[in-house]
Structure 1
Amino acid sequence: MDEQGVRGSGSPPTGRFRRGAAWWRSGPPWVSRWGAEGGRDGGAAWPWPSTLLLTVFVLVGSSFAAHGQEGERAALDPFARVLLLVAAGLLLWRRRHPVAVLFGTSAAAATYLGAGYPYGPVFLTVAVACFSAVVAGHRRAAWAAVGALWAAHVLVAHWLYRWLPPTGDAAVSWGQEAVVLAWVVAIMAVAELARARREQWARDRAERAQAARRRADEERLRIARELHDVLAHSISVINVQAGVGLALLDSDPEQARTALTTIKAASKEALGEVRQVLDNLRAPGEAPRAPAPGLDRLPELVTQAAGAGLTVEVEGEPPRLPPGTDLAAFRIVQEALTNVVRHSGSRHARVRLDKAAGTAGDPRGAALRLCVDDDGPATGADAGGSGNGLAGMRERAAALGGTIEAGPRPDGGFRVLAVLPLDGATAKEGER
């Protein structure tokens, strides 16, 4: 709130099939109603390339496996190839319906195994479906499906093999079962690792996005604070001088001319500072064309306040300060004097500068103390406070690890006291 308040109260969803898009990226036209990229359920893209590659590998690899196991396992027939196509083709939906695809590929593989067809790449389809389910977060379903498939393999290999093709098949050794179990555990472990890494990447992206939003918010607040300090001070001076000029326009034209000259100078300075802020926005990587204001411009503030009818008495010499601290100190004094002009009945203010040395009992070390006093009560006239003045001063001080105290004095009047630490100020600015 301003001093007046303190005194008075104490893409659009994409995914439709696009004309000219490559079919291996977007899918054929008959799946356009599901969405080539987003799908009806907002899922991921159709994995056409990998599914096609896996289907070819499973079919060709199973043919080679059948030649190698000829006489030991049943030969590949059309039913076997249909099972292979179903197991591999289901993988097209693994990103949208991972659980259903996992159980479907497991059922196809179990049927393929129970029919006595050759061992081979058909189990790769189960591994890929299991991996997708675990990465999607369906861990229990993945363990259940893989466990059911392994149990079916044990049942067929050690009991049902007597009644199932091929004829004369023998039981599988438990050593081979241990190898199959080791492969299952390895696949699940890799899938769990991929899921953990994917979740970590998602957290990292979310943290980076949050940090970017926080930096954008801080920059927006900094710009709003800077514009408020520049405009509030200059417009207050312009407002006072415009009132003087209107009052003296007929009786004292020379004094009215002086008021208009002050208005011109104040507006020119405000335009220059606003232009500098806008230039920094348009070219954030470039160095500012003019140095940021600091306490070395305190005499200008005194002169501008005098033009608004306020006499300012300055005590103490401005010390050498880091750029950020110097700018904050200048803006705090500027806002405090602006509030005196706008909200105080006093036409006299005092600005006191003290540099306190660090002591053993003060962990902050050296600090700059800024004190702005006036003796007048709140006028309540033409306040126009936006509620951002004192809040902006507190934000500037807090950014440097300092404090602001603002409020009525016990003996009357109003005081703004700022304490800005000097030790570590440069480091804090570097962190921002």
Structure 2
Amino acid sequence: MGEQRVRGHGPPQWWRYGPPWWNRPDGDAEPGRARLPWRSTVLLTAFVLAGSHFAAHGQYHREQLDGYARVLLLVASGLLLWRQRYPAFVAYGTATAALVYLGAGYPYGPVFLTVAVSCFSAVVAGHRRAAWGAIGMLWAGHLLVALWLYRWLPPPGDGGANINQEIVIATWGVAVVAVSELARVRREQWARERADRALAARRRADEERLRIARELHDVLAHSISVINVQAGVGLALLDTDPEQARAALTTIKAASKEALGEVRQVLDTLRAPGAAPRAPAPGLDRLSELVEQAADAGLTVDVEGEPPSLPPGADLAAFRIVQEALTNVVRHSGSRHARVCFEGCNDDAACGGALRLRIDDDGPATGADAGGSGNGLAGMRERAAALGGTIEAGPRPDGGFRVLAVLPLKSKAKAKEDDR
């Protein structure tokens, strides 16, 4: 299988990553381990060998390149194959090979490039001490050779270096590590930015899933509650009062059709993100429909106050809050009467620019909790919180259950503009 994959990849993959035995017998790198940088190492090795050959022509006082010199250059360059897997070892290894090369009296040249590349990789990988240590070892060794050991090392008759030359080498070493540190910092910044973007994308996806879950819950809970009540009525009256049973079935058909339409609208946003909805989002202008559906389920709803004109987001939230509250009355309350009260206006001085929306029933609870299972209340709280409002829900002192929503009539951004 390994040979088939290598032949299938063709020469470009072989040239880039090297033979399969450089990584694993089957030609695939182990999970979590970087590929060997085969191509860049070959190019660096060729450059170091060719550059050292040309550099030797102008340094007649140094030893000429021979087989031992080329072996040292190959060792220093070949170690770069493992610079991503073992950056600290490669940094010290290339520095040692370069130091032996220079101590043997061979010409100065691109051998320093191998040390620079290995130290750069070590710093970027987080092995900063290893990079500084390798550079310091190379400079200290060269200083020792140039000021003292040159008397016993080739080439014969070579004089010691002056302090200026050592300062140049030290400056070069500091510059290499400084550039590496800058690259490391930039790489960490890019990594943080990518992580922040990914986190923001996940947060947006989570918020969208919650929004869709709230919409589906509100639509299905209300419609299925009406269908459930009407189905019970239809079954009870099927033999004794066929006309009333027919009316119940008609209500079931209408409620299911409306639910399917709203569910389809929510699902369309998943298929085409950002596309305009086919139908406008429901709002308080459809409150009469909620009242009629509640009446079909046997619940009488009195509306007190005039529903105000709200922005689209607040209008949808208010509609869903009333819908969920009435659904809970149908499902969890023994009362067949509910009141929806609107308190608020657009005049900031009169009412603080907030809508107080109250839904009451007289109880008693027919289940464990008149407020429902908790998902609907959580959805109402999330809707109100998204607008900067609040939700209070709980039993009333005189019996029954109350849902009180306070929704700002203008957004927070608009409020800040007005304050200015």
Shared fold (TM-score greater than 0.5)?
A: yes
CA contact (8 A) 2:52 2:111 kept: yes
The counterpart of 2:47, out of the listed 57, 62, 65, is 57
Counterpart of 1:3? none
Classify the secondary structure of the residue corresponding to 1:119. Answer: coil
Cα distance in structure 2, aligned partners of 1:291 and 1:357 = 23
CA contact (8 A) 1:376 1:413 kept: yes
Give the letter for the 2:15 counterpart: W
CA offset at residue 385 of structure 1? 5.0
CA contact (8 A) 2:225 2:330 kept: yes
CA contact (8 A) 2:305 2:343 kept: yes
Cα distance in structure 2, aligned partners of 1:361 and 1:311 = 31
Counterpart of 1:107? 96
Matches within 5 A, 1:15-54: 19-21=8-10, 22-33=13-24, 39-40=29-30, 42-54=32-44
Cα distance in structure 2, aligned partners of 1:385 and 1:18 = 64
Give the letter for the 2:360 counterpart: D
Matches within 5 A, 1:280-291: 280-291=269-280
Cα distance in structure 2, aligned partners of 1:143 and 1:32 = 29
Cα distance in structure 2, aligned partners of 1:361 and 1:191 = 65
| CA distance 1:414–1:41, change in 2 (3 Å) | closer
* TM-score normalised to structure 2 length: 0.93
| CA distance 1:270–1:128, change in 2 (3 Å) | same
CA contact (8 A) 1:325 1:425 kept: no
Post-superposition CA distance 1:215-234 (Å, at most 9, x none): 11111111111000000000
Counterpart of 1:272? 261
Give the letter for the 2:49 counterpart: L
Classify the secondary structure of the residue corresponding to 1:81. Answer: helix
Cα distance in structure 1, aligned partners of 2:325 and 2:225 = 12
Classify the secondary structure of the residue corresponding to 2:301. Answer: strand
The counterpart of 2:378, out of the listed 376, 391, 395, is 391
The reply to whether residue 414 of structure 1 matches residue 401 of structure 2 is yes
CA RMSD of aligned residues (A): 2.1
CA offset at residue 344 of structure 1? 0.6
Counterpart of 1:343? 332
| CA distance 1:288–1:425, change in 2 (3 Å) | farther
Give the letter for the 1:191 counterpart: S
Post-superposition CA distance 1:267-307 (Å, at most 9, x none): 00000000111111101121000000000000000000000
Classify the secondary structure of the residue corresponding to 2:399. Answer: coil
Counterpart of 2:197? 208
Counterpart of 2:105? 116
Counterpart of 2:307? 318
CA offset at residue 31 of structure 1? 1.8
Classify the secondary structure of the residue corresponding to 2:216. Answer: helix
Post-superposition CA distance 1:178-228 (Å, at most 9, x none): 111111111111000000011111111111111111111111111111000
CA contact (8 A) 1:36 1:46 kept: no
CA contact (8 A) 2:329 2:370 kept: no
In structure 1, list runs of 5 or more residues that go unmatched. Answer: 1-15
Give the letter for the 1:379 counterpart: T
In structure 2, list runs of 5 or more residues that go unmatched. Answer: 416-420
CA contact (8 A) 1:17 1:32 kept: no
CA contact (8 A) 2:304 2:340 kept: yes
Counterpart of 2:63? 74
Classify the secondary structure of the residue corresponding to 1:405. Answer: strand
Give the letter for the 2:340 counterpart: V
Cα distance in structure 2, aligned partners of 1:359 and 1:399 = 21
Counterpart of 2:185? 196
CA offset at residue 18 of structure 1? 7.4
Name the structure, 1 or 2, with higher relative contact order (CA <8 Å, separation 6+).
Answer: 1
CA contact (8 A) 2:6 2:14 kept: no
Counterpart of 1:380? 367
| CA distance 1:381–1:112, change in 2 (3 Å) | closer
Post-superposition CA distance 1:296-344 (Å, at most 9, x none): 0000000000000000000111211111111111000000000000011
Classify the secondary structure of the residue corresponding to 1:33. Answer: coil
Classify the secondary structure of the residue corresponding to 1:420. Answer: strand
| CA distance 1:154–1:142, change in 2 (3 Å) | same
Q: Give the percent of matched residue pairs that are identical in Structure 1 and Structure 2.
A: 77
Cα distance in structure 1, aligned partners of 2:106 and 2:413 = 75
Cα distance in structure 2, aligned partners of 1:320 and 1:384 = 28
The reply to whether residue 243 of structure 1 matches residue 258 of structure 2 is no
Post-superposition CA distance 1:73-100 (Å, at most 9, x none): 0010100000001101111111111111
Give the letter for the 2:287 counterpart: L
Give the letter for the 1:25 counterpart: R
| CA distance 1:125–1:226, change in 2 (3 Å) | same
Cα distance in structure 2, aligned partners of 1:249 and 1:425 = 54
